[in-house]
Chain A
Amino acid sequence: MIDDDMIDSGFRMDVRNIAESAKLMACQQCGKCTPFCPITRLNSDFSPRKLIRMTQLGLHKRVVPNKKYLWLCANCYACSEICSQQIDPTEIIVSLKNMAARIKKIPVGKKSMYGQIAKTGLVFEVGEEQNAIREEMGLDPFSEVDVSQTEHILKATGVYDIMARRK
Protein backbone atom coordinates (compact mmCIF):
# COMPACT_ATOMS: atom_id res chain seq x y z
CA MET A 1 0.00 0.00 0.00
CA ILE A 2 1.45 3.35 -1.04
CA ASP A 3 0.05 6.53 0.51
CA ASP A 4 0.28 9.91 -1.23
CA ASP A 5 2.57 11.27 1.47
CA MET A 6 5.18 8.62 0.67
CA ILE A 7 5.62 10.01 -2.83
CA ASP A 8 8.31 12.58 -3.54
CA SER A 9 7.28 13.90 -6.95
CA GLY A 10 10.63 15.59 -7.66
CA PHE A 11 12.66 12.44 -7.02
CA ARG A 12 12.25 10.80 -10.41
CA MET A 13 13.18 14.06 -12.13
CA ASP A 14 16.32 14.31 -10.02
CA VAL A 15 17.34 10.83 -11.13
CA ARG A 16 16.44 11.46 -14.80
CA ASN A 17 18.45 14.66 -14.81
CA ILE A 18 21.64 12.68 -14.25
CA ALA A 19 22.92 11.76 -17.73
CA GLU A 20 23.80 8.19 -16.76
CA SER A 21 20.27 7.46 -15.53
CA ALA A 22 18.29 9.47 -18.10
CA LYS A 23 16.35 6.42 -19.32
CA LEU A 24 14.70 5.71 -15.97
CA MET A 25 11.13 6.08 -17.27
CA ALA A 26 11.76 3.75 -20.23
CA CYS A 27 11.67 0.69 -17.95
CA GLN A 28 8.48 -1.25 -18.72
CA GLN A 29 8.98 -3.65 -15.82
CA CYS A 30 9.46 -6.70 -18.06
CA GLY A 31 11.55 -8.31 -15.31
CA LYS A 32 14.12 -9.85 -17.66
CA CYS A 33 16.88 -8.51 -15.37
CA THR A 34 15.67 -10.23 -12.19
CA PRO A 35 16.86 -13.81 -12.88
CA PHE A 36 20.31 -12.47 -13.78
CA CYS A 37 20.77 -10.57 -10.51
CA PRO A 38 23.01 -12.51 -8.10
CA ILE A 39 21.59 -10.60 -5.12
CA THR A 40 17.94 -11.44 -5.86
CA ARG A 41 18.70 -15.16 -5.52
CA LEU A 42 19.75 -14.72 -1.92
CA ASN A 43 17.45 -11.88 -0.94
CA SER A 44 14.21 -11.92 -2.91
CA ASP A 45 13.20 -8.55 -1.46
CA PHE A 46 15.87 -7.04 -3.69
CA SER A 47 15.67 -6.81 -7.44
CA PRO A 48 16.80 -4.25 -10.00
CA ARG A 49 13.23 -4.22 -11.39
CA LYS A 50 11.74 -3.30 -7.99
CA LEU A 51 14.36 -0.65 -7.35
CA ILE A 52 13.59 0.95 -10.72
CA ARG A 53 9.83 0.80 -10.07
CA MET A 54 10.13 2.42 -6.65
CA THR A 55 12.26 5.15 -8.19
CA GLN A 56 9.78 5.71 -11.02
CA LEU A 57 7.01 6.02 -8.45
CA GLY A 58 8.93 8.59 -6.42
CA LEU A 59 9.38 6.44 -3.29
CA HIS A 60 12.52 8.27 -2.23
CA LYS A 61 12.39 7.18 1.42
CA ARG A 62 12.17 3.48 0.55
CA VAL A 63 15.13 3.68 -1.80
CA VAL A 64 17.77 6.30 -1.03
CA PRO A 65 18.19 6.30 2.77
CA ASN A 66 17.67 2.51 2.92
CA LYS A 67 21.25 1.44 3.70
CA LYS A 68 20.41 -2.25 3.98
CA TYR A 69 18.78 -2.33 0.55
CA LEU A 70 20.28 -0.02 -2.04
CA TRP A 71 23.91 -0.95 -1.33
CA LEU A 72 23.34 -4.68 -1.77
CA CYS A 73 23.96 -4.14 -5.50
CA ALA A 74 27.35 -5.63 -6.40
CA ASN A 75 27.78 -3.47 -9.50
CA CYS A 76 28.10 -6.58 -11.69
CA TYR A 77 26.21 -5.06 -14.66
CA ALA A 78 24.33 -8.33 -15.34
CA CYS A 79 21.00 -6.44 -15.42
CA SER A 80 22.42 -3.71 -17.66
CA GLU A 81 23.79 -6.23 -20.13
CA ILE A 82 20.48 -8.10 -20.50
CA CYS A 83 18.08 -5.12 -20.47
CA SER A 84 16.03 -4.97 -23.72
CA GLN A 85 15.27 -1.29 -23.19
CA GLN A 86 18.92 -0.47 -22.52
CA ILE A 87 18.01 1.64 -19.52
CA ASP A 88 21.19 0.54 -17.71
CA PRO A 89 19.81 -0.31 -14.23
CA THR A 90 23.35 -0.51 -12.77
CA GLU A 91 24.00 3.13 -13.70
CA ILE A 92 20.63 4.16 -12.22
CA ILE A 93 21.63 2.38 -8.99
CA VAL A 94 24.98 4.21 -9.00
CA SER A 95 23.06 7.51 -9.32
CA LEU A 96 20.90 6.50 -6.34
CA LYS A 97 23.99 5.59 -4.29
CA ASN A 98 25.54 8.98 -5.15
CA MET A 99 22.34 10.61 -3.78
CA ALA A 100 22.52 8.46 -0.65
CA ALA A 101 26.16 9.40 -0.09
CA ARG A 102 25.26 13.11 -0.28
CA ILE A 103 22.90 12.65 2.68
CA LYS A 104 25.48 10.40 4.37
CA LYS A 105 23.41 7.22 4.24
CA ILE A 106 26.20 4.72 3.66
CA PRO A 107 26.33 1.24 5.28
CA VAL A 108 29.02 0.83 7.93
CA GLY A 109 31.20 -1.63 5.96
CA LYS A 110 31.31 0.66 2.93
CA LYS A 111 31.91 3.67 5.17
CA SER A 112 35.06 2.18 6.65
CA MET A 113 36.28 1.33 3.14
CA TYR A 114 35.77 4.92 2.00
CA GLY A 115 37.57 6.15 5.12
CA GLN A 116 40.49 3.92 4.18
CA ILE A 117 40.56 5.33 0.63
CA ALA A 118 40.49 8.93 1.93
CA LYS A 119 43.29 8.21 4.39
CA THR A 120 45.66 6.07 2.32
CA GLY A 121 44.55 6.44 -1.30
CA LEU A 122 43.92 2.69 -1.36
CA VAL A 123 41.00 0.32 -0.71
CA PHE A 124 43.47 -2.25 0.61
CA GLU A 125 46.31 -0.77 2.59
CA VAL A 126 49.73 -2.05 1.59
CA GLY A 127 52.33 -1.93 4.37
CA GLU A 128 55.52 -3.55 5.65
CA GLU A 129 54.00 -7.01 5.89
CA GLN A 130 52.95 -6.98 2.23
CA ASN A 131 56.23 -5.50 1.06
CA ALA A 132 58.18 -8.21 2.91
CA ILE A 133 56.25 -10.85 0.94
CA ARG A 134 56.88 -8.92 -2.28
CA GLU A 135 60.59 -8.82 -1.53
CA GLU A 136 60.66 -12.59 -1.00
CA MET A 137 59.02 -12.97 -4.41
CA GLY A 138 61.60 -10.69 -5.98
CA LEU A 139 59.03 -7.96 -6.70
CA ASP A 140 59.64 -4.25 -6.16
CA PRO A 141 58.10 -2.72 -3.04
CA PHE A 142 54.72 -1.09 -3.63
CA SER A 143 55.27 2.52 -4.57
CA GLU A 144 53.79 4.98 -2.07
CA VAL A 145 50.81 7.17 -2.92
CA ASP A 146 51.17 10.94 -2.53
CA VAL A 147 48.12 11.32 -0.30
CA SER A 148 48.20 15.12 -0.49
CA GLN A 149 47.25 14.77 -4.17
CA THR A 150 44.40 12.30 -3.67
CA GLU A 151 43.13 14.33 -0.72
CA HIS A 152 43.09 17.43 -2.90
CA ILE A 153 40.93 15.64 -5.48
CA LEU A 154 38.41 14.53 -2.85
CA LYS A 155 38.27 18.03 -1.37
CA ALA A 156 37.97 19.80 -4.75
CA THR A 157 35.06 17.53 -5.72
CA GLY A 158 33.39 18.01 -2.35
CA VAL A 159 33.41 14.42 -1.10
CA TYR A 160 36.28 14.44 1.39
CA ASP A 161 34.03 14.96 4.40
CA ILE A 162 31.61 12.28 3.23
CA MET A 163 34.39 9.73 2.77
CA ALA A 164 36.72 10.57 5.66
CA ARG A 165 34.19 11.08 8.46
CA ARG A 166 34.16 8.63 11.35
CA LYS A 167 30.41 8.59 12.00
Chain B
Amino acid sequence: MDFSLFLGCAIPFQESNYELSARKVMGELGVNLENIPGAACCGHEIEQVDRDAYMVWAARNLCIAEEMDLDIAVLCPSCFLTLKTVDQTLKNDPKKKVYVNDILKDIGMEFKGTKEVRYWVQILLDDVGMDRMRELISPDFKGARLAVHYGCHILRPSKVLNFDDPIRPRNIDDLVELTGGTSVDYVDKTMCCGMPTLTSDMKVGLGIARSKLDNVRKVNADAMVTSCPICHMMFDSNQPWIEKTFDEKYGIPVLHLSQLLGLAMGFDYKELGLDRNTVDTKSIIKLKKS
Protein backbone atom coordinates (compact mmCIF):
# COMPACT_ATOMS: atom_id res chain seq x y z
CA MET B 1 0.00 0.00 0.00
CA ASP B 2 1.39 3.38 -1.02
CA PHE B 3 0.39 6.76 0.38
CA SER B 4 1.83 10.24 0.19
CA LEU B 5 2.77 11.54 3.66
CA PHE B 6 1.69 15.02 4.69
CA LEU B 7 4.16 15.89 7.44
CA GLY B 8 3.09 19.36 8.61
CA CYS B 9 5.60 21.51 10.48
CA ALA B 10 5.42 20.42 14.14
CA ILE B 11 6.87 17.00 13.29
CA PRO B 12 10.03 18.10 11.43
CA PHE B 13 10.52 20.95 13.94
CA GLN B 14 10.70 18.89 17.11
CA GLU B 15 8.95 15.55 16.72
CA SER B 16 10.84 13.81 13.94
CA ASN B 17 10.90 10.67 16.09
CA TYR B 18 7.14 10.45 15.55
CA GLU B 19 7.72 10.26 11.79
CA LEU B 20 10.65 7.88 12.27
CA SER B 21 8.65 5.45 14.41
CA ALA B 22 5.49 5.74 12.29
CA ARG B 23 7.49 4.92 9.15
CA LYS B 24 9.04 1.88 10.88
CA VAL B 25 5.69 0.57 12.11
CA MET B 26 3.79 1.25 8.91
CA GLY B 27 6.60 -0.10 6.74
CA GLU B 28 6.55 -3.38 8.68
CA LEU B 29 2.78 -3.53 8.16
CA GLY B 30 3.19 -3.04 4.41
CA VAL B 31 2.38 0.67 4.16
CA ASN B 32 4.87 2.77 2.19
CA LEU B 33 4.90 6.56 2.74
CA GLU B 34 6.19 8.96 0.05
CA ASN B 35 7.33 12.53 0.84
CA ILE B 36 5.24 15.43 -0.50
CA PRO B 37 7.71 17.99 -1.89
CA GLY B 38 7.19 21.64 -0.97
CA ALA B 39 4.17 21.24 1.31
CA ALA B 40 3.75 24.10 3.80
CA CYS B 41 2.04 24.33 7.19
CA CYS B 42 -1.40 22.71 6.77
CA GLY B 43 -3.25 26.01 7.24
CA HIS B 44 -4.92 25.18 10.57
CA GLU B 45 -3.82 28.38 12.32
CA ILE B 46 -4.77 30.56 9.34
CA GLU B 47 -8.44 29.61 9.83
CA GLN B 48 -8.46 31.86 12.91
CA VAL B 49 -7.42 34.85 10.80
CA ASP B 50 -9.46 34.30 7.64
CA ARG B 51 -11.45 31.30 6.42
CA ASP B 52 -10.86 32.04 2.73
CA ALA B 53 -7.09 32.27 3.10
CA TYR B 54 -7.16 29.03 5.12
CA MET B 55 -9.10 27.25 2.40
CA VAL B 56 -6.82 28.29 -0.48
CA TRP B 57 -3.69 27.60 1.60
CA ALA B 58 -4.82 24.08 2.51
CA ALA B 59 -5.96 23.46 -1.09
CA ARG B 60 -2.43 24.24 -2.31
CA ASN B 61 -1.12 21.45 -0.09
CA LEU B 62 -3.80 19.10 -1.41
CA CYS B 63 -2.87 20.00 -5.01
CA ILE B 64 0.80 19.11 -4.49
CA ALA B 65 -0.23 15.78 -3.01
CA GLU B 66 -2.73 15.19 -5.81
CA GLU B 67 0.11 15.41 -8.35
CA MET B 68 1.57 12.25 -6.80
CA ASP B 69 -1.60 10.31 -7.53
CA LEU B 70 -1.70 8.71 -4.08
CA ASP B 71 -4.14 9.04 -1.18
CA ILE B 72 -2.75 11.25 1.57
CA ALA B 73 -1.68 9.88 4.96
CA VAL B 74 -1.48 12.38 7.84
CA LEU B 75 0.24 11.95 11.22
CA CYS B 76 -0.86 15.21 12.89
CA PRO B 77 -4.54 15.45 13.94
CA SER B 78 -4.73 19.22 13.37
CA CYS B 79 -3.32 18.81 9.84
CA PHE B 80 -5.80 15.96 9.35
CA LEU B 81 -8.77 18.09 10.44
CA THR B 82 -7.66 20.97 8.21
CA LEU B 83 -6.95 18.95 5.07
CA LYS B 84 -10.02 16.77 5.48
CA THR B 85 -12.33 19.75 6.09
CA VAL B 86 -11.06 21.66 3.08
CA ASP B 87 -11.02 18.55 0.88
CA GLN B 88 -14.66 17.79 1.78
CA THR B 89 -15.73 21.42 1.37
CA LEU B 90 -14.19 21.75 -2.07
CA LYS B 91 -15.54 18.39 -3.23
CA ASN B 92 -19.08 19.44 -2.23
CA ASP B 93 -19.21 23.17 -2.89
CA PRO B 94 -18.64 24.07 -6.56
CA LYS B 95 -18.67 27.82 -5.85
CA LYS B 96 -15.87 27.55 -3.32
CA LYS B 97 -13.94 25.29 -5.66
CA VAL B 98 -14.13 27.94 -8.41
CA TYR B 99 -12.99 30.64 -5.95
CA VAL B 100 -10.03 28.55 -4.76
CA ASN B 101 -8.96 27.44 -8.23
CA ASP B 102 -9.12 30.99 -9.50
CA ILE B 103 -6.35 31.93 -7.04
CA LEU B 104 -4.42 28.67 -7.42
CA LYS B 105 -4.33 29.15 -11.19
CA ASP B 106 -1.88 32.06 -10.67
CA ILE B 107 0.62 29.63 -9.15
CA GLY B 108 -0.02 26.95 -11.73
CA MET B 109 -2.21 24.67 -9.65
CA GLU B 110 -5.72 23.27 -9.73
CA PHE B 111 -7.67 21.40 -7.06
CA LYS B 112 -9.38 18.43 -8.71
CA GLY B 113 -10.50 16.44 -5.69
CA THR B 114 -9.37 13.01 -6.78
CA LYS B 115 -7.68 11.86 -3.58
CA GLU B 116 -8.70 10.99 -0.01
CA VAL B 117 -7.17 12.36 3.20
CA ARG B 118 -6.53 9.63 5.79
CA TYR B 119 -5.30 9.72 9.40
CA TRP B 120 -2.57 7.09 9.77
CA VAL B 121 -4.39 5.26 12.56
CA GLN B 122 -7.39 4.93 10.26
CA ILE B 123 -5.14 3.26 7.69
CA LEU B 124 -3.94 0.82 10.36
CA LEU B 125 -7.47 -0.02 11.46
CA ASP B 126 -9.27 -0.14 8.11
CA ASP B 127 -6.62 -1.11 5.55
CA VAL B 128 -4.11 -3.16 7.54
CA GLY B 129 -6.68 -4.51 10.02
CA MET B 130 -6.51 -5.78 13.59
CA ASP B 131 -5.81 -9.38 12.54
CA ARG B 132 -2.61 -8.50 10.70
CA MET B 133 -1.53 -6.21 13.53
CA ARG B 134 -2.13 -8.93 16.12
CA GLU B 135 0.29 -11.13 14.14
CA LEU B 136 3.08 -8.55 14.31
CA ILE B 137 2.48 -6.80 17.62
CA SER B 138 3.42 -8.98 20.62
CA PRO B 139 1.68 -8.50 23.97
CA ASP B 140 5.03 -7.78 25.63
CA PHE B 141 3.74 -5.08 27.93
CA LYS B 142 1.49 -7.18 30.21
CA GLY B 143 0.93 -5.31 33.46
CA ALA B 144 1.83 -1.89 32.07
CA ARG B 145 -0.65 0.92 32.80
CA LEU B 146 -0.88 3.22 29.80
CA ALA B 147 -2.78 6.52 29.67
CA VAL B 148 -3.96 7.39 26.17
CA HIS B 149 -4.35 11.08 25.37
CA TYR B 150 -6.61 11.54 22.35
CA GLY B 151 -5.74 14.71 20.43
CA CYS B 152 -8.83 16.93 20.01
CA HIS B 153 -8.72 16.98 16.25
CA ILE B 154 -9.03 13.25 15.65
CA LEU B 155 -12.25 13.24 17.69
CA ARG B 156 -13.89 16.62 17.24
CA PRO B 157 -15.75 17.87 15.26
CA SER B 158 -16.95 14.28 14.76
CA LYS B 159 -19.30 15.24 11.92
CA VAL B 160 -16.24 16.03 9.78
CA LEU B 161 -13.76 13.48 11.11
CA ASN B 162 -15.91 10.41 11.62
CA PHE B 163 -12.96 8.65 13.29
CA ASP B 164 -14.39 7.43 16.59
CA ASP B 165 -17.06 8.08 19.23
CA PRO B 166 -16.12 11.61 20.36
CA ILE B 167 -17.33 11.10 23.93
CA ARG B 168 -16.14 7.53 24.60
CA PRO B 169 -13.50 6.76 21.97
CA ARG B 170 -11.92 3.29 21.80
CA ASN B 171 -9.81 3.13 18.63
CA ILE B 172 -6.46 4.11 20.11
CA ASP B 173 -7.13 2.28 23.40
CA ASP B 174 -7.67 -0.92 21.39
CA LEU B 175 -4.40 -0.44 19.52
CA VAL B 176 -2.53 0.26 22.76
CA GLU B 177 -3.96 -2.91 24.32
CA LEU B 178 -2.54 -5.00 21.46
CA THR B 179 0.78 -4.49 23.25
CA GLY B 180 -0.57 -6.35 26.30
CA GLY B 181 -0.81 -3.27 28.52
CA THR B 182 -3.96 -1.88 30.08
CA SER B 183 -5.28 1.37 28.65
CA VAL B 184 -6.37 3.11 31.83
CA ASP B 185 -9.28 5.50 32.23
CA TYR B 186 -8.74 8.87 33.85
CA VAL B 187 -10.64 12.10 34.43
CA ASP B 188 -10.88 14.39 31.37
CA LYS B 189 -9.25 11.81 29.12
CA THR B 190 -10.53 13.43 25.90
CA MET B 191 -9.77 17.01 27.03
CA CYS B 192 -7.42 19.32 25.09
CA CYS B 193 -3.67 19.48 25.96
CA GLY B 194 -3.73 23.29 26.22
CA MET B 195 -1.07 23.96 23.58
CA PRO B 196 -3.12 26.36 21.38
CA THR B 197 -3.70 28.65 24.36
CA LEU B 198 0.05 28.95 25.13
CA THR B 199 0.29 31.74 22.55
CA SER B 200 -2.61 33.73 24.03
CA ASP B 201 -2.29 33.05 27.80
CA MET B 202 0.71 30.98 28.84
CA LYS B 203 -0.49 30.27 32.39
CA VAL B 204 -3.86 28.97 31.20
CA GLY B 205 -2.25 26.81 28.51
CA LEU B 206 0.25 25.27 30.93
CA GLY B 207 -2.49 24.92 33.55
CA ILE B 208 -4.59 22.73 31.28
CA ALA B 209 -1.62 20.42 30.64
CA ARG B 210 -0.86 20.34 34.35
CA SER B 211 -4.37 19.21 35.23
CA LYS B 212 -4.10 16.40 32.68
CA LEU B 213 -0.74 15.28 34.11
CA ASP B 214 -2.30 15.37 37.61
CA ASN B 215 -5.12 13.11 36.44
CA VAL B 216 -2.73 10.69 34.76
CA ARG B 217 -0.60 10.51 37.91
CA LYS B 218 -3.67 9.81 40.08
CA VAL B 219 -4.33 6.54 38.23
CA ASN B 220 -0.67 5.45 38.55
CA ALA B 221 -0.01 5.29 34.84
CA ASP B 222 3.44 4.13 33.76
CA ALA B 223 3.34 6.34 30.66
CA MET B 224 1.17 8.56 28.54
CA VAL B 225 0.57 7.67 24.89
CA THR B 226 -0.16 10.38 22.32
CA SER B 227 -0.88 10.35 18.61
CA CYS B 228 -0.44 14.08 17.96
CA PRO B 229 2.89 15.93 17.66
CA ILE B 230 1.48 19.07 19.30
CA CYS B 231 0.11 17.19 22.32
CA HIS B 232 3.42 15.31 22.55
CA MET B 233 5.33 18.61 22.63
CA MET B 234 3.05 19.84 25.40
CA PHE B 235 3.34 16.78 27.66
CA ASP B 236 6.89 15.68 26.85
CA SER B 237 9.05 18.64 25.75
CA ASN B 238 7.14 21.06 27.99
CA GLN B 239 6.93 18.75 31.01
CA PRO B 240 10.01 20.27 32.71
CA TRP B 241 8.57 23.75 32.09
CA ILE B 242 5.19 22.71 33.59
CA GLU B 243 7.00 21.20 36.58
CA LYS B 244 8.97 24.40 37.13
CA THR B 245 5.96 26.69 36.72
CA PHE B 246 3.81 24.84 39.24
CA ASP B 247 6.58 23.55 41.51
CA GLU B 248 5.67 19.93 40.76
CA LYS B 249 7.52 16.74 39.82
CA TYR B 250 5.86 14.34 37.40
CA GLY B 251 8.53 12.43 35.48
CA ILE B 252 5.84 10.78 33.34
CA PRO B 253 7.27 9.33 30.09
CA VAL B 254 5.21 10.28 27.03
CA LEU B 255 5.36 7.95 24.04
CA HIS B 256 4.15 8.50 20.52
CA LEU B 257 1.65 5.72 19.76
CA SER B 258 4.00 4.59 16.99
CA GLN B 259 6.89 4.25 19.47
CA LEU B 260 4.84 1.98 21.73
CA LEU B 261 3.62 -0.17 18.82
CA GLY B 262 7.17 -0.27 17.44
CA LEU B 263 8.58 -1.59 20.72
CA ALA B 264 5.99 -4.38 20.73
CA MET B 265 6.93 -5.18 17.13
CA GLY B 266 10.53 -5.69 18.15
CA PHE B 267 12.18 -2.44 17.04
CA ASP B 268 14.77 -1.16 19.46
CA TYR B 269 14.97 2.01 21.52
CA LYS B 270 17.04 4.04 19.10
CA GLU B 271 15.34 2.81 15.93
CA LEU B 272 12.16 4.43 17.27
CA GLY B 273 13.89 7.65 18.36
CA LEU B 274 13.07 7.02 22.02
CA ASP B 275 16.47 8.52 22.90
CA ARG B 276 15.08 11.83 21.58
CA ASN B 277 12.14 12.07 24.00
CA THR B 278 12.58 14.74 26.66
CA VAL B 279 11.32 12.76 29.66
CA ASP B 280 13.42 9.63 30.09
CA THR B 281 11.68 6.59 28.58
CA LYS B 282 13.98 3.81 29.86
CA SER B 283 11.42 2.86 32.52
CA ILE B 284 9.15 1.74 29.69
CA ILE B 285 11.77 -0.64 28.32
CA LYS B 286 11.98 -2.23 31.76
CA LEU B 287 8.26 -3.03 31.56
CA LYS B 288 8.78 -5.11 28.46
CA LYS B 289 8.53 -8.83 29.25
CA SER B 290 10.53 -10.38 26.43
Contacts and interface: CB of A to CB of B under 8 A. Distances in A.
Given A81-B166, A81-B167, A149-B107, A124 B10 contact: yes
Contact of A42 (B12, B40, B207): B207
B196 A152 contact: no
Interface stretch (B51-59, B118-126, B127-135, B261-269): B51-59
Contacts, number: 179
A121 B42 CA distance: 9
Given A97-B49, A144-B38, A156-B56, A71 B107 contact: no
Given A43-B201, A81-B167, A145-B39, A98 B48 contact: yes
Nearest to B48: A97
Majority-rule SS of B interface residues: helix
A52 to B, nearest CB: 17
B208 A42 contact: yes
B38 A110 contact: no
Contacts of B9: 122-126
B16 interface: yes
Interface string B51-80: 111001100100000000000000000000
Majority-rule SS of A interface residues: helix
Interface in A105-120: 106-107, 109-110, 112-114, 117
Given A90-B157, A109-B198, A134 B12 contact: yes
Contacts of B190: 78
Given A81-B167, A121-B40, A153-B56, A110 B48 contact: yes
10 contacts: A39-B197, A41-B208, A75-B48, A76-B152, A76-B192, A109-B198, A122-B41, A125-B13, A130-B16, A158-B50
Interface of B: 7, 9-10, 12-14, 16-17, 19-20, 23, 35-41, 45-53, 56-57, 60, 103, 106-107, 152-153, 155-158, 166-167, 188, 190-192, 194-205, 207-208, 211, 273, 276
